[in-house]
Amino acid sequence: MSDPTDLEIPGHVTLAQGEGGLPKVVVETAWSNAEIYLHGAHVTGFQKKGEPPLLFMSAASEFAPGKPIRGGIPVIFPWFGAREGSPAHGSARITAWELKETALLPNGAVELRFSLPGAEGCHVEFLVTVAESLTLELAVENTGDRDSAFETCLHTYFQISGIDAVSITGLAGTRYQDKVAGTTETETAAAIRISGEVDRVYFDTTATTEIEDPGYGRKIRIAKSSSNSTVVWNPWIAKSKRMPDFGDDEYPQMVCVESGNVAQNQTTLPPGGHAVMKVEISSMRLLS
Catalytic center residues: 155, 258
Query: CA–CA separation, 115 vs 95, rounded Å?
Result: 11
Burial class of residue 267 (count of CB atoms within 10 Å of its CB; 0-12, 13-18, 19+): buried
What single string gives the DSSP state of each residue in 23-83?
Answer: EEEEEE-SSEEEEEETBTTEEEEEEETTS--SB-B-TT----TTS---BSB-EE-S--S-B
The C-alpha R_g of the chain, in whole angstroms, comes to 18
Query: CA–CA separation, 132 vs 37, rounded Å?
Result: 20
Parallel, antiparallel or unpaired: strands 209-213 and 183-186: unpaired
Query: CA–CA distance from 281 to each of 105, 136, 257 (Å)?
Result: 19, 8, 11
Torsion of CA 96, 97, 102, 107, to 10 degrees: -110
The alpha carbon of 263 is separated from its chain's Cα centroid by a whole number of angstroms, namely: 18
Query: CA–CA separation, 285 vs 288, rounded Å?
Result: 9
